[in-house]
């Protein structure tokens, strides 16, 4: 899963030298403490805007998810980090993604829902600008799929999807009720050369390890993870370069929305920097491209004509993919704050092959 890793790198570069010339601090923590807590009684919209204009112009950013370990049950410690570092923006990436979530629903509920409540409270109490990512997994089989608009039926069937809808609604509620500066983007599938795709169980064990979760041998992990479904679009590049053969678990005509990691991170920074008056809503779809395995394979074969692609359909994965958006309507993001993607399918393929090809050459040389 590439987003946390990539953002922590890019945030350091981009925010250390932003257009405003300021010198923000980026603090990134993982395993933040989450415990039930109420918004300070008597809080109102004005108290949530206690951060001065100059402070929001010179953001100090806390990213949850990577790097530093903090006591997972220590809300006080989280607050200390915010106060001691004079944090003004909070980017909340911590989450249990779908596979781990389905394997341990109580933990997913704690991290994704109770955790989100704590983040909302911290952000509200300290007047922080808050970003929380959502996902195509926040939609379900009854949502319109092609295109999927910002506002439509959302009835996901995973705890991950449900928790993300909850995050969208709670953030918007805190914005309307208390004036919290909540901003949310629904990411499509994120593609990065800086991630190690795998199939089913392997990915989930990696996810468990990353999240410091119990990886008991008897833990019956589900075979499918929503994010992993998109990994075919990463795996194909590794296989094309290393073996020249790729077996796809989805039907050749399964269309899903996708985005290269650089666009995802730029969108996140842009929506955080957007003047509040440009935002007609607080949760936006963003998109870059939408393609099928067959279209992706054809594009890769333009560079590597010997690539052999076969299809071994996994019915469970296929059923989940068939319940997801095929195409995101992100026209509101484009109109309101000028979202524009840089990477389309040919550029994505070229970039991924360049990265993975050079990594492979380095590995062979070593
Ligand atoms: N990768 C994608 O394609 C994609 C798509 C849509 C949305 N997102 C969202 O982006 C965010 C980052 O996703 P990612 O792909 O980098 O996943 P990831 O699994 O790499 O990152 C999640 C992070 O949360 C941390 N975490 C888990 N439990 C925690 C706890 N109790 N306290 C604190 N931190 C904890 C993990 O250590 C991990 O670093 C998530 O919120 C995810 O929902 C990702």
Residues carrying an active site annotation = 160
Q: What homologous superfamily does CATH list for 72-207+227-364?
A: NAD(P)-binding Rossmann-like Domain (3.40.50.720)
With a 6 A CB cut-off, is 189 part of the ligand 1 pocket? yes
pLDDT at 339: 98
Identify the band that residue 11 occupies on the pLDDT scale cut at 50, 70 and 90.
low
Residue nearest to atom 44 of ligand 1 (CA): 3
Q: Does 117 have pLDDT greater than 70?
A: yes
Q: Does 211 have pLDDT greater than 50?
A: no
- Ligand 1 pocket, mutate which of 8, 62, 63, 65 (most atoms under 8 A from CB): 65
C-alpha R_g of the chain: 20
pLDDT tens-digit series, residues 16-70 = 433 322 233 455 555 443 333 433 333 333 333 334 444 456 899 988 888 667 6
pLDDT at 174: 98
- The domain locations on the chain are 72-207+227-364
With a 6 A CB cut-off, is 133 part of the ligand 1 pocket? yes
**Mean pLDDT over residues 229-249, rounded?**
89
**Mean pLDDT over residues 95-108, rounded?**
87
- What is the rounded CA–CA span in Å between residue 121 and residue 84? 17
Tell me the whole-structure pTM to 2 decimals.
0.83
243 in helix, strand or coil?
coil
Higher local confidence (pLDDT), 77 or 287: 287
Average pLDDT in the chain: 79
pLDDT at 321: 86
Identify the band that residue 162 occupies on the pLDDT scale cut at 50, 70 and 90.
very high
Distance 52 CA to ligand 1 centre (A): 30
- Range name among 81-95, 154-168, 207-221 with the lowest pLDDT average: 207-221
* DSSP annotation of 317: H
129 φ/ψ sector (left φ>0, alpha ψ -120 to 50, else beta): beta
> What are the CB-based long-range contacts (under 8 Å, 24+) for 291-295?
291/233, 291/255, 291/256, 291/258, 291/345, 292/252, 292/253, 292/254, 292/255, 292/256, 293/232, 293/233, 293/236, 293/248, 293/250, 293/251, 293/252, 293/254, 294/252, 294/253, 295/345
DSSP β-ladder status, 308-311 and 245-248: parallel
Distance 78 CA to ligand 1 centre (A): 18
- What is the rounded CA–CA span in Å between residue 28 and residue 31? 10
Q: Does 279 have pLDDT greater than 50?
A: yes
Q: Does 10 have pLDDT greater than 60?
A: no
- Ligand 1 atom showing the smallest separation from residue 92 Cα: 41
Residue nearest to atom 2 of ligand 1 (CA): 190
Q: Does 224 have pLDDT greater than 70?
A: no
Identify the band that residue 143 occupies on the pLDDT scale cut at 50, 70 and 90.
very high
Strand ordering across the sheet containing 189-191: 189-191, 256-260, 289-291
With a 6 A CB cut-off, is 190 part of the ligand 1 pocket? yes
Higher local confidence (pLDDT), 333 or 71: 333
**Mean pLDDT over residues 76-103, rounded?**
88
pLDDT at 329: 98
Residue nearest to atom 15 of ligand 1 (CA): 1
What angle (nearest 5°) sits at the alpha carbon of residue 261, between those of residues 258 and 265?
115
- What is the rounded CA–CA span in Å between residue 199 and residue 225? 9
Q: Does 351 have pLDDT greater than 80?
A: yes
């Amino acid at each position: 899963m590439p987003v946390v890793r990539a953002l922590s790198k890019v945030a350091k570069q981009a925010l250390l030298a932003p257009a405003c010339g300021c010198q923000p601090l980026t603090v990134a923590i993982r395993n933040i403490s989450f415990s039930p807590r109420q918004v300070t009684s008597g809080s109102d919209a004005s108290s949530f805007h206690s951060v001065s204009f100059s402070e929001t112009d010179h953001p100090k950013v806390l990213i949850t998810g990577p790097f530093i370990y903090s006591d997972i049950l220590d809300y006080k410690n989280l607050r200390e980090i915010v106060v001691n570092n004079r944090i003004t923006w909070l980017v909340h990436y911590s989450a249990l993604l779908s596979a781990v979530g389905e394997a341990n629903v109580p933990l997913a509920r704690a991290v994704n829902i109770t955790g989100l409540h704590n983040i909302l409270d911290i952000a509200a109490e300290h007047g922080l600008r808050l970003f929380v990512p959502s996902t195509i997994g926040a939609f379900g089989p009854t949502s319109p799929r092609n295109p999927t608009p910002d506002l439509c039926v959302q009835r996901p069937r995973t705890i991950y999807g449900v928790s993300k809808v909850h995050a969208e609604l709670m953030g918007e509620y805190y914005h309307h009720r208390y004036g919290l500066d909540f901003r949310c983007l629904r990411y499509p599938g994120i593609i990065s050369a800086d991630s190690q795709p795998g199939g089913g169980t392997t990915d989930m064990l990696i996810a468990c390890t990353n999240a410091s979760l119990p990886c008991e041998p008897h833990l019956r992990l589900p075979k499918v993870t929503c994010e992993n479904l998109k990994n075919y679009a990463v795996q194909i590049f590794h296989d094309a370069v290393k073996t020249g053969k790729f077996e796809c678990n989805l039907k050749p005509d399964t269309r899903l929305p996708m985005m290269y990691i650089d666009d995802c991170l730029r969108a996140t920074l842009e929506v955080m920097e957007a003047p509040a008056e440009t935002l007609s809503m607080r949760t936006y779809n963003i998109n870059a491209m939408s393609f099928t395995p067959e279209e992706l394979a054809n594009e890769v074969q333009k560079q590597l004509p010997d690539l052999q692609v076969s299809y071994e359909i996994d019915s469970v994965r296929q059923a989940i993919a068939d319940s997801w958006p095929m195409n995101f309507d992100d026209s509101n993001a484009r109109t309101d704050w000028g979202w524009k993607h840089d990477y389309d399918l040919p550029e994505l393929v070229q970039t991924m092959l360049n990265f993975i090809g050079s990594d492979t050459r380095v590995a062979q040389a070593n």
